[in-house]
Amino acid sequence: MAEREAKTKKKCLVNVDMDNLSDYARVYAIKNVPIDNDVLYSNVVPRLLDLFSRYDIKATFFIVGRDCGSERNRRAVRKISEEGHEVANHTLTHTAFNGLSGKEKRFEIEEADKILSDILGKPVAGFRPPHLDFKLDKESIDILEENGYLYDSSLCPAFLYLFAERTVLYLRSKRTIKGLRPTISDIQACFAKDRIYKIEGSTLFEIPTTVLPLFRTPFLATLTMASGNNLYFDLGYPLVKRFVEIPVFRLHGMDLLGLEEDALDGSFHVHPGMKQPLSRKTDKFRHIFGSMSKDYEFVTAESVIAKGGPAGN
Ligand SMILES: [Zn+2]
């Protein structure tokens, strides 16, 4: 019996957003510096696959279609899938959705879908729009449904956190990225459900990024990378473990890049956590995944939804 219980660990999701350096440069208004976006696929993907195999993690990677131009990057995406992880749609160009027309949204979703399903040789099940999180509009949900998607993962019900972060980033981008402009939906999202649920009037499920109970701030690697030692994770994790049914932990490819180790331009030091060596960030991830792997089985988002959502797991 004890053995059987040990085998039925609770489920947990790890999401990776593969936002590229050009996007960060736009957000931080970094101009006229050399940028090698492929470093995410040549350097970060192997690091992540190594970490995930060490802790027996099956993760979901949200990939930007436009980044799959070279055969080398396409091979990296294929390898992600071959190792049992899920590859999901993070749009074609990582342009914020709240400034786009219906036609443009369709283009962003469907062109990325074509690229990714062609690389994988199978349909893509999940979608996440770029630039922080807001409640996805009905038009986009309908496009996803038409294309056979199982879930959307737009929402992060972080109380005021998103509104504040979007405002800071919008100003930092010198008001050049209209999609970063805070809107009323950022405030509404603060009060949204913090659990996987079926979207009303749709066949799709919504998979929100988990927020820490009480604090309502995102269960996000970047905040641990930016905090001394592992403070953010160590404070938040006991709450997540106690109160969240299926936690969704989110990280970005950028979290595993080193300013010096990957020869990034020094101006990227403005990104949270970039002032420390890569080895220190890797240690933080080992701490995070080492702790979580004692309590959880890590599964892909698609597998949770394919089994009928949280109720079927
Ligand atoms: Zn993104």
Distance 119 CA to ligand 1 centre (A): 20
User: Tell me: the pLDDT tens digits for 42-89?
Assistant: 999 999 999 999 999 999 999 999 999 999 999 999 999 999 999 999
Query: In 97-120, which positions are buried (b, 16+ CB within 10 angstroms) versus exposed (e)?
Result: bbebeeeebbbbbbbbbebbbebb
What residues does 151 pair with on adjacent strands?
126, 205
Question: pTM of the predicted model, to two decimals?
Answer: 0.92
Place of tokens 């106690």: 242
Domain that holds residue 208: 2-312
For residue 249, the CA-to-ligand 1 centroid distance in Å is: 15
Per-residue pLDDT, 228 = 84
CA 26 to chain centre: 19
**CA torsion through residues 31, 251, 41, 73, sign:** negative
Q: Which mean pLDDT values do the consecutive 10-residue runs of the chain (313 residues) have?
A: 61 96 89 91 98 98 97 98 98 88 96 98 96 80 97 86 73 72 72 88 95 88 89 95 96 96 94 94 97 97 88 69
**91 Cα to the center of ligand 1, angstroms:** 9
What is residue 145's predicted lDDT score, i.e. its pLDDT? 97
Per-residue pLDDT, 292: 97
Q: How far is the CA of 20 from the centre of ligand 1 (A)?
A: 8
According to the model, what pLDDT value does residue 258 have? Answer: 96
Using the mean position of ligand 1's atoms as its centre, give its distance from the Cα of residue 5 in Å: 37
Say how many Å lie between the CA of residue 7 and the centre of ligand 1.
Answer: 34
193: buried, middle or exposed (CB in 10 Å: 19+, 13-18, 0-12)? exposed
> Is the distance from CB of 24 to CB of 30 less than 8 angstroms?
yes
- Mapping DSSP to helix (H, G, I), strand (E, B) and coil, where does residue 1 land? coil
How many angstroms does the Cα of residue 298 sit away from the middle of ligand 1? Answer: 21
- Residue 277 CA to ligand 1 center (angstroms) comes to 23
Is residue 264 within 8 A of residue 30, CB to CB? The reply is no
Q: Which residues surround ligand 1, an ion (CB under 5 A)?
A: 17, 19, 130
Give 113 Cα–ligand 1 centroid separation in angstroms. Answer: 16
pLDDT at 1: 44
CATH number of the domain enclosing 152 = 3.20.20.370
Query: How close is the Cα of 308 to the center of ligand 1, in Å?
Result: 26
Report the pLDDT value the prediction gives residue 239, as an integer from 0 to 100: 95
pLDDT for position 2: 47
Distance in Å, CA 262 to ligand 1 centroid: 20
How many structural domains compose the chain? 1
Tens digits of residue pLDDT in 98-134: 778 999 999 999 999 999 999 999 999 999 998 766 6
DSSP structure class, residue 197:
E
